[in-house]
């Protein structure tokens, strides 16, 4: 039954996305579903939305040229993952004198299924499904990772509990993959379960703030293209990153520059699905713009709790102390 639903979701996703590209962005499903709207007539995005997934950021080499997984591949991937997690948890013992691993699967909530679209990677453009990272940017990332015990400045901004930034806060992580959206006529607010950010997107602002002002999450200007909310973010400082968790794959720890420009698109295609996509442009870091796309799934029963970032309170100084003892 799930595989049948996945095929329907995948087919619906590709057909609706094609229509959005060809005909504009007014959404009305063939099954009679009508896009809910606010009192002001705007598409209603309110609710709690999840994006925990097994689907990787980049397309694996074994699936080169393959946009979607087959039904058999979905079964195999989800089964292998469930078996591996059960085995890992069963073997999670700590012997005297050995280090305690920070997390096992008990603590994680990274999803147990692929994306409902069945896509092989979150990156959909370029067609390879791979991030076009410049070698120099990878060298900066690797340099920092090799020196995390030397200074907090080499750690990711997530490890330091500052922010995951924009669009990083919308990307899947190992846990806390929920987003509460609250909407008024003038603003759309996104409460991120991971870390503590509340992002407020103005729906009436016409232009960006002064270019001299640089922010961790940038400055966003939004407008409607039919029923799609388009959000352009600029004015970044150069101290963040696109991805800060292992779910980002090679993107984890890749720096950004003040020239970063992110254009997000939010399109609700069904009662329980928003298609979120972002096109990232940062010429010094990437050889070309690239696009990430994924569905957000509504779950009104999901409970979001206040985020307490103990890594920033304790782990950072302890890592630095440990590095000095080792030296």
Q: What was the pLDDT predicted at 137?
A: 98
Chain centre to alpha carbon of residue 273: 15
Q: What was the pLDDT predicted at 16?
A: 45
Cα(183)–Cα(37) distance, integer angstroms: 11
Q: What was the pLDDT predicted at 307?
A: 85
Q: Which residues of the chain have pLDDT under 50?
A: 3-5, 7-9, 12, 14-16, 18-24
Cα(73)–Cα(194) distance, integer angstroms: 30
Closest CA to 220 of 244, 246, 189, 196: 189
Cα(8)–Cα(34) distance, integer angstroms: 18
Q: How many helices (H) and strands (E) does the chain have?
A: 5, 10
Closest CA to 48 of 163, 174, 190, 202: 190
Cα(249)–Cα(243) distance, integer angstroms: 8
Cα(96)–Cα(2) distance, integer angstroms: 44
Report the Cα–Cα distance between both ends of the chain, in Å, rounded: 57
Q: What was the pLDDT predicted at 95?
A: 59
Residue linked to tokens 């928003």 = 274
Q: Return phi, psi of residue 49, to 5°.
A: -125, 140
Question: How many CB atoms within 10 Å of residue 38?
Answer: 13
- Chain segment 40-81, per-residue pLDDT in tens: 999 999 999 999 999 999 999 999 999 999 999 999 999 999
Q: What was the pLDDT predicted at 93?
A: 62
Distances (CA, A) of 112 to 108, 125, 126, 311: 11, 25, 27, 25
Residue linked to tokens 């948890």 = 89
Region of residue 165 (phi > 0: left; psi between -120 and 50: alpha; otherwise: beta): left
Distances (CA, A) of 189 to 77, 130, 290: 35, 31, 25
Q: What was the pLDDT predicted at 146?
A: 95
Closest CA to 16 of 274, 310, 220, 190: 274
Cα(144)–Cα(5) distance, integer angstroms: 43
């Amino acid at each position: 039954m799930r595989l049948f639903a996945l095929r329907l979701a995948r087919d619906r996703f590709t057909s609706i996305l094609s229509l959005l590209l060809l005909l504009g962005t007014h959404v009305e499903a063939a099954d009679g579903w009508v896009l809910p709207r606010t009192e002001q007539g705007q598409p209603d995005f309110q609710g709690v939305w999840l994006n925990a997934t097994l689907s990787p950021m980049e397309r694996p080499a074994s699936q080169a040229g393959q946009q979607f997984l087959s039904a058999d591949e979905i079964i195999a991937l989800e089964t292998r993952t469930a078996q591996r997690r059960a085995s890992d948890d069963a073997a999670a013992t700590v012997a005297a004198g050995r280090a305690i691993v920070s997390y096992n699967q008990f603590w994680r909530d990274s999803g147990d299924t692929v994306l409902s679209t069945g896509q092989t990677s979150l990156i959909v453009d370029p067609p390879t499904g791979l991030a076009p990272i410049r070698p120099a940017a990878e060298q900066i990332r690797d340099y920092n990772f090799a020196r995390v015990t030397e200074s907090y400045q080499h750690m990711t901004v997530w490890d330091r509990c500052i922010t995951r930034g924009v669009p990083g806060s919308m990307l899947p992580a190992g846990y806390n993959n929920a987003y509460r959206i609250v909407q008024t006529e003038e603003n759309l607010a996104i409460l991120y379960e991971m870390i503590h950010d509340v992002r407020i997107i103005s729906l009436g602002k016409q232009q960006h703030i002064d270019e001299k002002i640089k922010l961790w999450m940038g400055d966003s200007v939004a407008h409607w293209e039919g029923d799609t909310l388009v959000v352009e973010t600029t004015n970044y400082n150069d101290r963040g990153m696109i991805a800060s968790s292992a779910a980002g794959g090679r993107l984890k720890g890749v720096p950004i520059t003040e020239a970063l420009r992110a254009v997000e698109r939010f399109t609700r295609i069904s009662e329980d699905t928003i298609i979120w996509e972002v096109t990232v442009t940062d010429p010094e870091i990437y050889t070309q713009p690239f696009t990430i796309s994924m569905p957000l799934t509504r779950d009104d029963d999901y409970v979001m709790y206040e985020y307490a970032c103990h890594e920033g309170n304790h782990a950072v100084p302890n890592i630095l102390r440990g590095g000095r003892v080792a030296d």
